[in-house]
């Protein structure tokens, strides 16, 4: 299988002009900001069709005008607002509310609008968002926000974070069987306020293999701790854990990478996205070496097309540095909250490495006391 390197050094740090990019109106700040504005009411409205968003803006004007002029009837209110009186009649007499307003009400009640970087729920939100770029996301019709995994313990970890942020959304959760061979579980919510919340944050919408998307620019203005929360959710689903085989003689690990598939028509946007992901990882101390493209076969072994739409899909890999320093730093920084078994494998690889090199580096010298030496080994291995 052909595997050729795509050079990333010197590429400009651009954000892809993808349809799911967060609007420029969201505040961008530096990592020094501890009270950074991330999400506003207006950002939620921008996820709706313009006629619905404009109707909601007019509804807010209506509420303010009615509070200031309690004697106005619906016709006078309509004239002042420049809308048809049928609309203000619905708002005033029947308490009709625009759909976006109902979603915003829920998010306000949950303390999520406006959303600042010092909100106590931000770490869980960022983990959920990171997973939304990988084994989760939003369907193309913006009806559900979901997470998929073959292991129930990972589903439960995701659900725990979800309910920490959206306690009102528990009744909207449902599980389905997913995957080509029906081996995975999909946990999803149909609450539109939650779906629009993550869409406004920049979560990809639709089939991520086919659509363009980019990292939200505000991520780069967060603290290291919060960047790690996002990478925790992202790496949980996509990263291949580095290994340290017992026969390994050098101090480097092997197979530390992250792979994502994309149709060839979206290659340039996808490379920009992976470059931005590398930039975010680098900002917390996780180094990469290159990005590779691995062409995929167009047909499966039984002769059926790999994709029903007939498009060619390739795998793009970020190769992270296999140096012990980089791997051990990653092991310390990334918790892999939604990949419990994967975390255990990572723990075992690091343990194997430490045992091997502690034994090599601390061979008792002539005259050394064995008991003291065993004490030192025990501390380093643990």
Written as one string, the DSSP assignment of 306-368 is: SSTT---EEEEEEEE---HHHHHHHHHH---TT-HHHHHHHHHHHHHHHHHHHHHHTPPPTT-
In the block, tokens 């990263």 appear at 239
Pair 178, 186: CB distance under 8 Å: yes
Helix axes 99-109 and 192-201, enclosed angle (nearest 10): 80
**At 188, phi and psi to the nearest 5?**
-140, 155
DSSP result, 105-128: HHHHHTT-SSEETT-TTHHHHHHH
Render each residue's pLDDT in the chain as its tens digit; 382 residues: 343 344 333 333 332 223 344 434 343 433 446 799 999 999 999 999 999 999 999 999 999 999 999 999 999 999 999 999 999 999 998 989 999 999 999 999 999 999 999 999 999 999 999 999 999 999 999 999 999 999 999 999 999 999 999 999 999 999 998 877 788 899 999 999 999 999 999 999 999 999 999 999 999 999 999 999 999 999 999 999 999 987 777 889 999 999 999 998 999 999 999 999 999 999 999 999 999 998 887 766 666 666 777 788 899 999 999 999 999 999 999 999 999 999 999 999 999 998 887 655 544 444 444 455 445 444 444 4
The bridge status of strand 115-116 relative to strand 136-138 is unpaired
Q: How far apart are CA 201 and CA 195, in angstroms?
A: 10
Comparing C-alpha atoms, which of 6, 100, 120, 113 is closest to residue 53? 100
Residue 258 pLDDT? 95
215: helix, coil or strand? coil
Which single residue is written with the structure tokens 């598939």? 261
Q: What integer pLDDT is reported at residue 359 of this predicted model?
A: 52
* Per-residue burial over 321-347, b = 16 or more CB atoms within 10 Å of its CB, e = otherwise: bbebebbebbbebbbbbbbbebbeebe
- What is the C-alpha to C-alpha distance for residues 101 and 56, in angstroms, rounded to an integer? 6
- The closest alpha carbon to 283, from 209, 340, 217, 224, belongs to 224
Alpha helices in the chain (DSSP H): 41-45, 50-68, 74-81, 85-93, 99-109, 122-132, 152-165, 192-201, 224-238, 267-283, 324-333, 340-361, 370-381
Q: What is the pTM of this model?
A: 0.85
CA distance 130 to 319: 19
Question: What is the pLDDT at residue 296?
Answer: 80
Of 270, 255, 252, 317, which Cα lies nearest the Cα of 290? 317
Radius of gyration of the chain (CA): 25
Judge whether 166 and 196 are in contact, CB under 8 Å.
no
- CB of 226 closer than 8 Å to CB of 65: no
**Tokens 């076969």 -> residue:** 297
CA distance 337 to 234: 10
Contact between residue 227 and residue 170 where contact means Cβ atoms under 8 Å apart: no
């Amino acid at each position: 299988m052909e595997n050729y390197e795509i050079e990333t050094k010197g590429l400009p740090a651009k954000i892809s002009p993808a349809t799911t990019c967060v609007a420029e109106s969201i505040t961008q700040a530096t990592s020094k900001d501890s009270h950074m504005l991330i999400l506003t009411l207006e950002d939620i409205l921008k996820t709706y069709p313009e006629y619905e968003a404009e109707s909601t803006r007019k509804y807010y004007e209506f509420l303010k005008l009615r509070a200031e002029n309690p004697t106005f009837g619906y016709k006078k209110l309509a004239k002042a607002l420049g809308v048809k009186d049928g609309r203000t009649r619905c708002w005033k007499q029947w308490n009709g509310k625009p759909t976006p307003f109902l979603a915003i009400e829920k998010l306000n009640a949950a303390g999520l609008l406006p959303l600042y970087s010092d909100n106590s729920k931000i770490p869980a939100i960022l983990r959920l968002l990171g997973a939304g770029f990988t084994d989760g996301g939003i369907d193309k019709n913006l009806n559900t926000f979901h997470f998929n995994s073959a292991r129930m313990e990972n589903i439960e970890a995701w659900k725990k974070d979800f309910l920490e942020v959206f306690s009102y959304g528990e009744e909207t959760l449902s599980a389905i069987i997913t995957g080509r061979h029906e081996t995975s579980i999909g946990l999803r919510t149909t609450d539109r306020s939650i779906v629009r919340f993550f869409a406004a944050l920049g979560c990809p919408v639709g089939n991520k293999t086919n659509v363009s998307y980019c990292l939200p620019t505000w991520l780069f203005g967060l603290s290291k701790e919060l960047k790690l929360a996002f990478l925790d959710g992202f790496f949980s689903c996509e990263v291949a854990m580095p290994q340290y085989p017992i026969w390994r003689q050098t101090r480097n690990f092997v197979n530390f990478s992250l792979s994502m598939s994309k149709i060839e028509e979206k290659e340039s946007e996808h490379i920009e996205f992976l470059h931005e992901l590398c930039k975010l990882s680098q900002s917390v101390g996780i180094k990469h070496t290159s990005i590779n493209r691995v062409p995929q076969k167009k047909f499966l072994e039984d002769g059926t097309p790999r994709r029903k739409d007939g498009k060619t899909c390739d795998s793009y890999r970020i190769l992270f540095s296999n140096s012990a320093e980089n791997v051990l730093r990653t092991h310390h920084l990334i918790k892999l909250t939604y990949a419990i078994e994967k975390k255990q494998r990572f723990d075992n690889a690091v343990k194997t490495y430490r045992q091997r090199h502690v034994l090599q580096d601390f061979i008792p010298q002539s005259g050394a006391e064995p008991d003291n030496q065993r004490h030192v080994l025990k501390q380093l291995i643990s």
